[in-house]
Amino acid sequence: MKRNVIAIVGRPNVGKSTLFNRIIGRSHSIVSEVEGVTRDRVKDSFEWKGVEYDIIDTGGFVNNSKDVMSRQINIQSSIAQEESDLILLVMDSRQDITSTDRELAQVVLKSNKPYLFVLNKVDTAKLESNKDKFYELGLKEPILVSAQSGSKVGDLLDGVSGILLIENVADKQKYDFSVAIVGTPNVGKSSFINKILNKDYAIVTDIAGTTRDSVDSNIKYYNKIIRLIDTAGLRKKTKITEKIEFYSTVRTARSIDECDVAIVMLDSAKDFGKQEQDIIRNIIDKGKGMVLAINKLDLVNNKAEAMDSYVDNMIYKYRSILNYPIIFISVKENKRVRQVLSKCLEVYNEKNKKIKTNVLNNWLSKILNQNPPPSVKGKNLKIKYVSQIRQNPPLFVFHSNFPEMFPVSYKRFLENQIRSEFGFSGVSIKISFRKK
Ligand code: GDP
Ligand code: GDP
């Protein structure tokens, strides 16, 4: 099999060469404090989880002095475009966004290649919040790494192998979107999968993963082909997997990474605890769609009352749950199992929705009239206009005179108003402010 090629792109000094060396695990390249030293080694290969990859440090092809920045972008982008199967776009989390970062982001977005957005030099957890300012670029959720210490570089490579695997599978078998079924043990995930796969639905195929022990299933639902992730892991459950908490946590995280929409399964007879909240936080952070399915309703007395208090308790513990569909089901009695899938389809459509700029700005002027931004430290905060620069997950950028000064409460207000006007139920939306 042909090896997949990964291209690292980014402006000088973001740490491409350091990341390259970290990934291949040897020091072929020259790392320099000085910008613009051409590296002696720019292509190499490495192995991750039993698969070999080629990797190119595109920065190494340019002998960069300041005046050839545009040439540099050209060279980097044509290598990425013509030679690679996947692009790692690297930026420096500790610096402001530069015009070169912006240009490279555009190159990557227009290339139609799969890519990962890597924010480097996140050496400590304290630096993680730096990622917020990068949202305005309209890229995917960044992976935060420290090339220097190696922190999270393994996660990055998991992301690489996940994407290339999906790409390879997708070549063979097209599907419209992917759904993961996650939750703590014994809530009924396997029963749910079996109910869906055994009855009522045309099973399109089982897709064997090439590099891992999982099997996904494609089902057809209202003219859409939905890929159900890791159905084998759920169907062929052994007694030991429940004991190996770590294993199931890893598996859950991986399913979430790969999905468009996650179904979180909960047990209506059990408490909504910390583990459940952690899973939900993970899904929201990663910008995935989410549907909450609360199972085993057949075991509950006084159903109406019990459902109300279950929902109240969830919202009390985790307020943003208000923004996601909640369905009470009984897999055992086959109640509303289908409805969970139709909600997933709705959420998927919401996640890909794009609001026209003029419609958004009409809405904005109404909102600003009702509740203008506050003054902060004597500054009159103003919002000039807003646009939705990304779908899936949606990202709204507000152009403002003092983008850094908006209080969290006002951001939350804007998000709530977007939701009440435009919907986006089941979708995590991001808001960012840009200087104008
Ligand atoms: P390139 O021009 O993009 O290839 O960047 P280099 O790999 O040459 O790195 C530029 C500078 O950033 C060097 O001084 C590196 O030591 C430093 N650097 C790279 N990665 C990290 C990191 O994760 N944390 C910190 N603090 N510095 C880093
Ligand atoms: P998983 O660990 O989340 O995959 O859960 P399973 O599907 O293995 O289910 C755990 C247990 O809950 C099994 O004994 C199922 O028969 C039972 N179960 C699943 N769904 C329901 C339901 O809707 N009602 C009831 N009463 N039991 C259920």
The SS3 assignment for 28 reads coil
Name which residue leads in pLDDT, 313 or 47: 313
Task: Let me know if the fold of 4-169 is the same as that of 357-435.
Answer: no
Q: 177-351 has which fold?
A: Rossmann fold (3.40.50)
The pLDDT, as a whole number, for residue 35 is 42
Quick one: average pLDDT of 124-131? Answer: 92
Closest ligand to C-alpha of residue 248 is 2
Q: What per-residue confidence (pLDDT) applies to 41?
A: 58
> What does the pLDDT average to over 131-137?
92
Q: Which fold has domain 357-435?
A: GMP Synthetase; Chain A, domain 3 (3.30.300)
pLDDT greater than 60 at residue 22: yes
Atom 10 of ligand 2, residue of closest alpha carbon: 186
- Ligand 2 and 296: CB distance under 6 A: yes
Q: How far is the CA of 15 from the centre of ligand 1 (A)?
A: 4
Residue 185 Cβ contacting ligand 2 at under 6 Å: yes
Q: Quick one: average pLDDT of 391-418?
A: 93
Q: Is the pLDDT of residue 258 over 50?
A: yes
Instruction: Please report which ligand is nearest the Cα atom of 122.
Output: 1
Q: What is the rounded average pLDDT of the residues 66-80?
A: 73
The CATH architecture annotation of domain 4-169 reads 3-Layer(aba) Sandwich (3.40)
Of 244-258, 373-387, 408-422, where does mean pLDDT reach its minimum? 244-258
Tell me the pLDDT band of 402, cut-offs 50, 70 and 90. Answer: very high
In the predicted model, is pLDDT for residue 301 greater than 90?
yes
C-alpha 78 chain-centroid distance: 26
Q: Are 56 and 83 in contact (CB under 8 A)?
A: yes
Domain positions in the chain: 4-169, 177-351, 357-435
Q: Which residues pair with 432 in a beta bridge?
A: 397
Question: 8, 9, 11, 13: which to mutate for ligand 1, most atoms within 8 A of CB?
Answer: 13
What confidence score (pLDDT) does residue 57 get? 86
Cβ–ligand 2 distance for 336 under 6 Å, the answer no
For residue 293, give the H/E element and its range: strand 289-295
Q: What is the mean pLDDT of residues 102-112?
A: 91
Q: Which ligand is nearest to the CA of 12?
A: 1
For 304-308, what is the mean pLDDT? 96
| Percentage, residues of the chain above pLDDT 90 | 56
Q: Which atom of ligand 1 is nearest to the CA of 147?
A: 23
Higher pLDDT, 200 or 430: 430
Q: State the pLDDT at residue 312.
A: 97
pLDDT at 117: 97
Specify the pLDDT at position 205.
53
Q: Note the Cα 263 to chain centre separation in Å.
A: 15
Give residue 425's identity as a one-letter amino acid code.
S
Average pLDDT over residues 59-68: 60
Rounded to the nearest integer, the mean pLDDT of the chain is: 85
How many H-runs (helices) and E-runs (strands) does the chain carry? 13, 18
- Compare 28 and 333 and report the one with higher pLDDT: 333
Q: Are 434 and 395 in contact (CB under 8 A)?
A: no
213 pLDDT tier (thresholds 50, 70, 90): very low
Burial of 274 (0-12, 13-18, 19+ CB in 10 A): exposed
Is the predicted pLDDT of residue 350 greater than 90, yes or no?
yes
Which candidate, 350, 180, 348, places its Cα nearest to that of 259?
Answer: 180
Q: What secondary structure, in 3-state letters, does 35-70 show?
A: CCCCCCCCEEEEEECCEEEEEEEHHHHCCCCHHHHH
pTM: 0.67
Residue of the CA atom closest to atom 12 of ligand 1: 15
Distance CA 205, CA 221 (A): 13
Rounded Cα gap, residues 108 and 412, in angstroms = 31
